[in-house]
């Protein structure tokens, strides 16, 4: 079993829809959680970073962490074609501060 599980998709939704992307993890030592967006043939771009259970909002993006269920989510409201990309969840522990563990990435397409 992988430490971090993420549905690779692909996921295709119409413009304006609410998108939900999810990751589950098995290592209870993970304390810090990130979402990266990666456009084709580009480097990952940090979207959200959180270290506590609950919700964190930034514009159209909301990151949700449930440590008791070992489950994190990224919600995208009012999705735009420019949101079409691969979304990677990543997480790390305090001890493994420099080692990110990535999910497989979900490929998302927003259709105009």
Interface with other proteins includes 100 (CB under 8 A)? yes
Cβ contact 4:70 at 8 Å:
no
Does residue 102 bind other proteins (CB under 8 A)? yes
* 51: contact with other proteins by CB under 8 A: yes
How far is 112 from 110, CA to CA, in rounded Å?
A: 7
Q: Which one of 21-29, 64-72, 74-82, 97-105 is the stretch in contact with other proteins (CB under 8 A)?
A: 97-105
CA 109 from chain center: how many Å?
15
Q: How far is the CB of 78 from other proteins (least distance, A)?
A: 25
Is position 29 an interface residue for other proteins (rule: CB under 8 A)? no
- Indicate the residue among 70 and 107 with the shorter CB distance to other proteins: 107
Least Cα distance to 38 among 77, 90, 73 occurs for 90
Nearer Cβ to other proteins, position 73 or 104? 104
Please state, in angstroms and rounded to a whole number, the distance separating the CA atoms of residues 109 and 9. 10
């Amino acid at each position: 079993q992988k430490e971090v599980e993420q549905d690779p998709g692909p996921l295709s939704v119409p413009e304006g829809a609410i998108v939900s992307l999810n990751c589950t993890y098995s290592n209870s030592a993970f304390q810090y959680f990130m979402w990266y967006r990666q456009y084709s043939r580009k480097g990952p771009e940090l979207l959200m970073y959180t270290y506590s259970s609950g919700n964190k909002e930034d514009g159209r993006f909301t990151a949700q962490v449930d440590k008791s269920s070992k489950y994190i989510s990224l919600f995208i409201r009012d999705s735009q074609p420019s949101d079409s990309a691969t979304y990677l969840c990543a997480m790390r522990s305090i001890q493994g501060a420099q080692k990110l563990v990535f999910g497989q990435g979900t490929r998302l397409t927003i259709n105009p």
